[in-house]
Each structure stands twice: as C-alpha cells, then as structure tokens.
Amino acid sequence: MKFNPDLVTIAGNWKMNGHIDTSVDVEKLINLINGDDANIILFPPYTLISQFVHISKNSILSIGGQDCHHKDSGAFTGSISAPMLHDAGADFVIIGHSEVRALHGKGSGNIMNKTQSAHENDLITIICVGEDREVRLQGEHYNFISKQLEDSVPRTSNRNNTIIAYEPIWAIGTGNTATTADIKEMHAHINNTLQDFDMFKKGNPSILYGGSVNPKNAGQILSINNVNGVLVGGSSLDHLQFNEIIKSK
Ligand code: PEP
C-alpha cells in the first residue's frame, strides 16, 4: 500500500538540493527504516525522482514530486505535469508549498486545479497551508487558514488521497518552531474545519506539521493531538537526522 492514513507520516522535502551521488545516502536510509510502521516519503528535485524510485522499489520508502502543473502538457516552460510525475514512478506530490505559492502572489492561485490533476493521475497530495508572520500578528491566522483550505481542497479529495500540512511561513527554515500550544490550537482548528467538508464525511485526512522540525523537537511535536506526522525540510537532507526523526514517532 502506498499510503495508510491511520499511520504516522514522515515526509522529507529536499527542495533544490541533491545530486545523483546522494543516492548512496538514500540507500543507507532505506536500510535504517525498513520494517518501520509509518508512511515515509522523500520529495527530491525532479531530476532524481526516477533514480530514487528505482532504489526504493522494494522498500517502505515512497517518492514524490515537489509541485505539478494543473495541465497535462503544453507550452509551459519549466513546468512538470502530474502525468509526468506518475510516469517517473512518483506516488505523491506536494501542492501549494509556501515557496511555490510565493511565486504566484499571496492568493491560492490554481492550487485546487493542480490537486485535482494530481488525483486524476493517481497521485497522493500533500496540500500545504500556512500564514505569514504579519497575518499571525494581526490575529487573522484562523480565518486565513480556513480560507486557504476552502480555496485549495478539491472535490476529488478524500482521506486516502489527501494529506494536509500546516506550515506557518515564519517557522520554515528559520529555526523558529511553532510552540506546542500554537500547533495544538491550529491543528484542532484545521481538524474542525475539515469536518464540514463533504469530501471528509468518512473521516478527516492526516494533518502534518512543518517548520523547523529536527531530531530534538520531533518527538514532542508528534505527541501533540491531531498531529499525524511531520513535513521536514532542512533536517531531511541528512539521512541520519531524518532517521532519528522517523524513530521519534
Ligand atoms: C518545508 O520547507 O517544508 C520545511 C518545513 O522546511 P524546514 O524544515 O527547513 O523548516
């Protein structure tokens, strides 16, 4: 099975990092995690997807893309489509990461269309939501996240093909992890909001936290109510650190 929503999910977003020779580290990671009872996913740059799919074939590691276009093909220089990710062997895709949303202004852009295209091509989506510091200081973060969820989650979603990641922008890559109280309150808010979505009448999707997760704070974060896993950037680049995060579940 590619994804079990009842298990903890530990996902590593490599962003624009990694070369062919990093495959050695992925092989070491696979040896450390085989037998673990979790959904473990790596999101390398597009150039490494086929290679990592090949090495992880008989392991519990899954591979995904960091974004996709909402169209299947066409004159969209620099973009990659959901059928292309599927063709390369990916099973997952991140949609709406704040670093991608930033390229399209503050709005949700076409996140919903991208997610729908991913589902139509048999990809499991991690939809990212998260407020910036300004929105939080204005006390608007709950309204902001509700609106992002409404604008991002399509009718094709269900708890088996959709994961939500709460990634406050002020916590990404800054070392400023959100506090336990911040995470607990926002994950409860997201959980409550999703209960009103028709697509989740049979159960809410997993909700991950992302933002400066590391081996030291992962155990604490994973023990918070309504936290079903973590999306890890910087600390996923080192296979030993990533394995420590997986083992702290
Ligand atoms: C991310 O980019 O999704 C992320 C959570 O990054 P970091 O762990 O480096 O804050």
pLDDT in tens, 125-149: 999 999 999 999 999 999 999 999 9
Strand partners, 164: 127, 207
Strand partners, 231: 11, 210
Measured from the CB, is residue 230 less than 6 Å from ligand 1? no
In our burial notation (b when 16+ CB lie closer than 10 A, e otherwise), range 216-247 reads ebbeebbeeebbbbbbbbbbbbebebbbbbbe
In our burial notation (b when 16+ CB lie closer than 10 A, e otherwise), range 114-123 reads bbbbbbebeb
pLDDT of residue 106: 57
Please report which confidence band the pLDDT of residue 61 belongs to, taking 50, 70 and 90 as the band edges.
very high
Average pLDDT, rounded, for the chain: 95
Measured from the CB, is residue 13 less than 6 Å from ligand 1? yes
**Residue bearing the CA closest to ligand 1, atom 1:** 233
pLDDT of residue 8: 98
Measured from the CB, is residue 90 less than 6 Å from ligand 1? no
Domain ranges of the chain: 9-247
pLDDT of residue 103: 80
pLDDT of residue 108: 61
pTM, two decimal places? 0.96
> Which atom of ligand 1 is nearest the CA belonging to 173?
10
Radius of gyration of the chain (CA): 17
Is CATH 3.90.1150.10 the classification given to domain 9-247? no
Strand partners, 61: 40
Residue 175 CA to ligand 1 centre (angstroms): 9
pLDDT in tens, 69-112: 999 999 999 999 999 999 999 999 999 999 999 887 655 669 99
